[in-house]
Amino acid sequence: MRILSTTVIRTVTAVVVLLGGFSVYGQNCTQGKGLTSNNVRWLIGSGDTLWMVTERGQELTLNLIESETALDSSTVTDEGNWKHFTLGCRKVGINDLFLDNGLTVASFDTAPTVIWTYDHETEKTRDRTFSWPTDSSNFTFTVNDIAGIGGGYWLACRDGGLMGWDPGRDMKTVFFPGIDSGYEQPSILMEHFPPHDTTRQVTGVEPFSGDSLLLVTSPSRLWLFSTVDSSWDSSITTELSGSAVAEPVFEYPFVNRIDPSHPLYCIISDADADKDADAQSVLYKYNRGNHRWEPMFEEAPKALTFCHNGYFYALFDDMSLRNIIRLYRDTLGDSGVVLNPKPVADDAVLHSRMTGTQDIDVPAIFNDVLYAPRNDSTGYLWVATSEGLFLSPEEAPGSRGNDTVPFILIKRAPSVSAGLKKTYARPGILTPAASNCKFIYNIEADRADVTIKIFDYNMDHVKTVIEKRPRISGKQGGPLGRSTVESEDNWDGTNEQRRPVAPGVYYYKITTSSGERAFGKIVVAR
């Protein structure tokens, strides 16, 4: 697990560093205007600037909006205000994004590792590579995390230590936990440190306070690192309170920087997790009063974002919890850490704000949540889902009036090819929270009769959704260039006897009286 830009906890698989030119790895890296997909995977933002990573098929894309004025429904729903960066030339995942001092830095799951930068003033992109010694097969140079402080950037490079990078002079210096001197030549570090030394590895980095202090985790502990004198402070204890974690592994640090006291948190897992199927990562808060880490949630949320006045949103990605986002309030002090605190507002409140004034269903999957302060009491609340991006532009967490304020839905209406050449179910996964899917399609022959049937994994008939219903072709004025009639062309996960079907994979078949046909897949997860 890990956290992105102090707000979001994520699962990582990765490798380290880069070279220059946006199409280094192929011809499919492009940039342009408009949104690229409704499947929003994760978010990073500051003030009136937001980056979102979307998934289009097997391809990840970056989408950016930034404004000199406050964001509202007119600015965010106008696709002309969005920029997109299509990264298909890499065919790899994005490990991390960090925005600071007008520069966005992204790392990718490549070997050698590539770091991509975007200059917000010049609007220019650039790739860079950091060369490691060729004889490095026993080392893992994964960039787990990126942080910016004091005009420079810091990369958590696993076996490669903590790399300080000055992009202006392109200078790089490597530091290792507990060692005050830095190394400018990566070959030196490999001569002095064995691979996979958990006391010297760096798993996460986070700005702490001011322009010179970082939180850094190695698997064995959390450190405070000074960028001024390169010193490592190990005064934060590794002792855990009330924990079943036998061999703690410190995975990622983060801090509530909205609160002046800067409370410390960390994702801590068990070193024996590979042997114990029930072991999982736990969210801890540091109690400065008794110098111990105290558990806050018995499992780490998928995403966590801090708000004003101690409030925070947590997203749990567990089918038993139905992929929920809840609002909590922290104690803020150094004592009184509450285990599994009771939410101030549950997911039903958020769902009603999403669907109350709009003809939409609750999204099938919530992927991320981000709060970006805009003044001393309110902020932008962004929610990334499998079916679009939601925004509350003046979120005041904990305010009763806030419970009824509807979200703005930012959604791209993808084109659907005529002739049933491309169809899909929205959402493609049925859950208790999203228990109805619509079939999106476009027929070629206007006014042809359409039939939609559902089959199970063995292709046994389950239900007929519609049979021989006339539909308009998209080119003849169908809604959004489609033939879908959303009030009829939908399935609620039941069979012909109106009983819920068992969890599993199901298939739909769309046919027309003119001979067109298409197949697709739906997953039912109860």
User: Which CATH number does the domain housing residue 519 bear?
Assistant: 2.60.40.4070
pLDDT in tens, 68-121: 889 999 899 888 899 998 876 655 678 888 998 889 998 877 666 678 889 999
Is residue 292 domain-resident? yes
Per-residue pLDDT at 357: 52
Q: Within 13 Å and on the Cβ side, how many CA atoms surround 34? A: 7
* More confident of the two residues 200 and 314: 314
pLDDT band at 476 (very low <50, low <70, confident <90, very high): confident
pLDDT band at 517 (very low <50, low <70, confident <90, very high): very high
Residue 491 tokens, joined = 């399935």
Q: Within 13 Å and on the Cβ side, how many CA atoms surround 331? A: 16
| Percentages (nearest 5) of helix, strand, coil residues in the chain | 10, 45, 50
Domain end residue (candidates: 296, 311, 346):
296
pLDDT band at 2 (very low <50, low <70, confident <90, very high): very low
Q: Are residues 289 and 431 in the same domain?
A: no
- Pairing outcome for strands 162-166 and 152-156: antiparallel
Domain end residue (candidates: 254, 280, 296):
296
Q: How many separate domains does the chain show?
A: 2
Q: Are residues 433 and 292 in the same domain?
A: no
Q: Are 21 and 114 in contact (CB under 8 A)?
A: no
pLDDT band at 252 (very low <50, low <70, confident <90, very high): confident
The lowest-confidence range among 181-185, 221-225, 337-341, 448-452 is 181-185
Question: Using CA atoms, how far apart are residues 465 and 425, in angstroms rounded to an integer?
Answer: 13
* More confident of the two residues 275 and 207: 207
Is residue 458 domain-resident? yes
Task: Give the CA dihedral 15, 19, 22, 25, nearest 10 degrees.
Answer: -60
The lowest-confidence range among 31-35, 147-151, 431-435 is 431-435
φ/ψ region of 309 (left if φ > 0, alpha if ψ in -120 to 50, else beta) reads left
Is residue 404 domain-resident? no
Coil, helix or strand for 376?
A: coil
Length of the chain: 526
Q: What are phi and psi of 56, to 5 degrees?
A: -120, 100
The strand order across the sheet containing 448-455 reads 429-430, 517-524, 504-512, 448-455, 461-471
| Residue in 304, 305, 296, 281 with CA at minimum distance from that of residue 340 | 296
Mean pLDDT of 265-272: 86
| Residue in 295, 292, 280, 288 with CA at minimum distance from that of residue 339 | 295
Is residue 376 domain-resident? no
Residue type, 406: P
| Residue in 291, 246, 290 with CA at minimum distance from that of residue 272 | 246
Q: Are 90 and 26 in contact (CB under 8 A)?
A: yes
Say what the pTM is. 0.77
DSSP characters over 284-326:
EEEETTTTEEEEEESS--SEEEE-GGGEEEEEE--GGGTSEEE
Q: Are 302 and 10 in contact (CB under 8 A)?
A: yes
Q: Are residues 284 and 147 in the same domain?
A: yes
Is residue 466 domain-resident? yes
Task: Please tell me whether the peptide bond between 427 and the residue prior to it is cis, using omega within 30 degrees of 0.
Answer: yes
User: Which CATH number does the domain housing residue 271 bear?
Assistant: 2.120.10.30
Per-residue pLDDT at 133: 62
Per-residue pLDDT at 93: 72
Q: Which domain holds residue 471?
A: 424-524
Domain end residue (candidates: 270, 296, 322):
296
Question: Using CA atoms, how far apart are residues 260 and 331, in angstroms rounded to an integer?
Answer: 13
Listed in sequence order, the DSSP H helices in 230-356 are 347-355
Residue 471 has pLDDT above 90, yes or no: yes
Residue 475's alpha-carbon distances to 128, 440, 447, 457, 472, in angstroms, are 46, 15, 12, 34, 8
Q: Are 344 and 398 in contact (CB under 8 A)?
A: yes
Is residue 262 domain-resident? yes
pLDDT in tens, 279-312: 578 899 998 888 889 999 888 898 999 999 999 9
* More confident of the two residues 63 and 196: 63
Is residue 67 domain-resident? no
Token pair 């003046």 in the structure block, residue: 394
Per-residue pLDDT at 20: 26
The strand order across the sheet containing 282-287 reads 248-255, 264-270, 282-287, 292-297
Question: Using CA atoms, how far apart are residues 345 and 365, in angstroms rounded to an integer?
Answer: 19
Contacts of 406 (CB under 8 A, 6+ apart): 353, 354, 356, 357, 358
pLDDT in tens, 320-343: 546 789 999 987 666 678 888 999
pLDDT in tens, 9-57: 433 222 222 222 223 333 457 888 888 888 899 999 999 999 999 987 6
3-state secondary structure 185-204: CHHHHHHHCCCCCCCCCECE
Q: In the beta sheet, which residues pair with residue 409?
A: 390
Mean pLDDT of 517-523: 94
pLDDT in tens, 193-233: 777 788 888 999 999 877 889 999 999 999 999 999 999 99
Is residue 483 domain-resident? yes
pLDDT band at 503 (very low <50, low <70, confident <90, very high): very high
Per-residue pLDDT at 469: 96
